């Protein structure tokens, strides 16, 4: 591990432990690159500002850090406005709902405004998504996307992802309202242990799909710290019921190693395992995009031919098309339209993955490490 990566982890550790970091002379350009791809530059700048001038970045990189902190605080205010508008919108349509992930996790942070997030996630009753879609159109809200299980709106420059199904690697939350607590006529919330479990299950989904970064590990650490008299045995029993025990034990042990998380370490994080975890959680950025451009499911058969991967991405299964295109899910005779729609969307509507695959060999060369990590965590099936 490079000095910059070590210091990056050390600064994040000082943040969660609420301690003054040690000043070090490192390549601050590289430190900023790490902070930027993991979307924690505001936290890193916040920690560096506690040091003497001789240990602070200078010139352009100092300006980059300062701007990142400013953007982080500004975007937090926009998200809070978007959160309230979303809540009012869902209630006005008489839908049960539960907010999950970042919008809740921020309260565990020493400074909530420093918990960055690209979107707000909320889960509603499965049968209500169509009603919310029509209501959003009537109100003139910006609709970014609408697939079978998710409606994405743009409010106050914030993506609002309204899900009819939990986006996690476990069936534990399939009926999320059964495990959530009712707090108002339509609003539900997860208790602290379920919140932590949801974060872990969601992290596993990201790893199984493409990758995950260190910010998700910060979430795990800070929720554990925020739960008074944290009961490790009780939590691991929950993880066992959710069929995610191996993942939970390994990742909390990694948190213990990097952040001194107040939880017992149950897995020896060292050697090849540690090297692989470093590769996945540090090199890939927040969601693995810096290290690869190909979702793991397209590589899972061990055949890493670029041409075959591109074919799989352009021509997925009928089931996947039903998720992507609600009109085909409702009307089977529109299958040919959905089949044509898929490659067109891949080229023009979304980021051009075909070009990335052709030009980027890392998507394939790093796949072995990714699969080893998934196997160690018990989530290799995608």
Q: What is the pLDDT at residue 372?
A: 86
> Do the beta carbons of residue 189 and residue 181 sit within 8 Å?
yes
Compute CA distances 274 → 94, 200, 255, 316, whole Å: 48, 19, 12, 34
Q: What is the pLDDT at residue 295?
A: 57
HEC secondary structure over the chain:
CCHHHHHHHHHHHHHHCCCCCCCCCCCHHHHHHHHHHCCCHHHHHHHHCCCCHHHCCCHHHHHHHHHHHHHHHHHHHHHHHHHHHHHHHHHHCCCCEEEECHHHHHHHCCCHHHCCCCEEEEEECHHHHHHHHHHHHHHCCEEEEECCCEEEEEECCEEEEEECCCCCCCCCCCCHHHHCEECCCCEEECCHHHHHHHHHHHHHHHHHHCCCCHHHHHHHHHHHHHCCCCCHHHHHHHHHHCCCHHHHHHHHHHHHHHHCCCCCCCCCCCHHHHHHHHHHHHHCCCCCCCCCCCCHHHCCCCCCCHHHHHHHHHCCCHHHHHHHCHHHHHCHHHHHHHHHHHHHHHHHHCCCHHHHHHHCCHHHHCHHHHHHHHHHHCCCCC
Q: What is the pLDDT at residue 243?
A: 94
Q: What is the pLDDT at residue 382?
A: 45
> Do the beta carbons of residue 105 and residue 199 sit within 8 Å?
yes
Bridge-partner residues for 121, per DSSP? 100, 161
Running along the chain, 382 residues long, what does each successive block of 10 average in pLDDT?
A: 96 98 95 96 95 90 93 95 98 97 96 94 94 97 90 96 91 95 96 97 87 94 96 96 96 98 95 94 83 56 53 64 62 76 61 49 61 84 50
Residues 6+ apart with CB under 8 A from 227: 192, 193, 196
Query: Which tokens belong to 271?
Result: 């050697």
Q: What is the pLDDT at residue 322?
A: 62
Backbone angles phi, psi at 17, to 5 degrees: -90, 0
What region, left, alpha or beta, does residue 135 occupy, with left being phi > 0 and alpha being psi -120 to 50 degrees? Answer: alpha
> Do the beta carbons of residue 4 and residue 30 sit within 8 Å?
yes
Q: What is the pLDDT at residue 362?
A: 47
Cα atoms in the 13 Å half-sphere on the side-chain side of 210: 15
> Do the beta carbons of residue 134 and residue 95 sit within 8 Å?
no
Taking the C-alpha atoms of residue 205 and residue 362, their distance in angstroms, rounded to an integer, is 21
> How many other CB atoms are there within 10 angstroms of residue 29's CB atom?
13
């Amino acid at each position: 591990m490079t000095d910059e990566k070590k210091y990056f982890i050390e600064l994040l550790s000082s943040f969660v432990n609420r301690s003054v970091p040690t000043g070090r002379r490192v390549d601050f350009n590289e430190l900023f690159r790490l902070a930027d791809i993991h979307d924690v530059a505001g936290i890193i700048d916040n920690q560096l500002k506690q040091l003497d001038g001789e240990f602070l970045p200078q010139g352009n990189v100092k300006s980059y850090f300062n701007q990142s902190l400013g953007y982080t605080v500004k975007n937090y205010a926009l998200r809070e406005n978007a959160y309230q508008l979303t809540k009012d919108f869902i209630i006005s349509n008489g839908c049960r709902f539960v907010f999950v992930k970042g919008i809740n996790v921020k309260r565990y942070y020493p400074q909530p405004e420093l918990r960055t997030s690209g979107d707000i996630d909320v889960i509603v009753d499965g049968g209500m998504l169509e009603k919310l879609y029509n209501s959003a159109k009537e109100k003139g809200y910006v609709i970014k996307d609408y697939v079978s299980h998710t409606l994405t709106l743009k409010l106050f420059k914030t993506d609002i992802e309204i899900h009819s199904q939990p986006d996690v690697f476990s069936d534990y939350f399939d009926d999320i309202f059964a495990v959530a607590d009712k707090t108002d006529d339509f609003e539900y919330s997860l208790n602290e242990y379920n919140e932590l479990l949801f974060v872990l299950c969601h992290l596993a989904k990201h790893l199984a799909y493409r990758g995950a970064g260190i910010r998700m590990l910060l979430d795990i650490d800070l929720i554990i710290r925020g739960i008074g008299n944290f009961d490790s045995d009780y939590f691991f029993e929950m993880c066992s019921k959710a069929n995610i025990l191996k993942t939970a034990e390994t990742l909390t042990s990694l948190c213990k190693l990097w952040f001194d998380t107040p939880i017992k370490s149950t897995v020896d994080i060292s050697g090849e395992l540690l090297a692989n975890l470093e590769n996945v959680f540090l090199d890939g950025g927040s969601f693995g995009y810096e290290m690869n451009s190909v979702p793991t499911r397209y590589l899972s058969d061990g055949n890493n031919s670029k041409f075959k991967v591109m074919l799989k991405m352009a021509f997925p299964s009928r089931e996947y098309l039903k998720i992507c295109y609600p009109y085909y899910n409702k009307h089977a005779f529109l299958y040919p339209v959905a089949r044509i729609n898929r490659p067109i969307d891949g080229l023009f509507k979304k980021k051009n993955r075909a070009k990335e695959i052709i030009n980027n060999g890392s998507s394939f060369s790093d796949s072995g490490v990714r699969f080893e990590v998934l196997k160690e965590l018990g989530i290799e099936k995608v």
